[in-house]
Amino acid sequence: MPLVRPRASDYRYFVPISTRWMDNDVYGHVNNVTYYSYFDTVANHFLIREGGLDIERSDVIGLVVESKCNYHAPLAYPQQLRGGLRIDKLGQRSVVYGVGIFAEHEDEAAADGHFVHVFVDRATRKPTAIPDRILAALESLRDGL
């Protein structure tokens, strides 16, 4: 059974992504592992810009514990993309992001998946509550969906 391709309207936050020459593999399209880098870029762009995460000094950081990607259509360098982000599940210590990767002017995702952050104390690496500012930013992505 074919997977349903998410649409841009399924996401609330977008980040422009420029493909790089090194993203292509020998088959002439973006290599599958590169999409996980795109997912990481979209989620962390949001946390830094909207949630105030200081990646060098924050006492609480998000660690990736799970990710998955579904591939629908090939992308290749040179191509401009946009990454869409939404919140699929939000807890007190973790978040499941839904991420879609779109060719710049396309409405259907070329790839989509999920990306899970567990928030931990930077020093001890033990799970801890999501800081209030980050939590408020995350909640803003799920409002109205």
Q: What is the pLDDT of residues 79-123, one digit of tens each?
A: 999 999 999 999 999 999 999 999 999 999 999 999 999 999 999
Report the C-alpha gap between 25 and 63 in whole angstroms: 28
Mention every residue, 6+ apart, whose C-beta is less than 8 A from residue 104. 16, 79, 80, 81, 82
Quick one: tokens of 81?
A: 């993309």
* pTM assigned to the model: 0.94
pLDDT for 72 beyond 70: yes
Task: Please report, in angstroms and rounded to a whole number, the separation of the first and last CA atoms in the chain.
Answer: 26
Distance of CA 14 to the CA centre of its chain: 10
**Domains in the chain with CATH codes:** 8-142 (3.10.129.10)
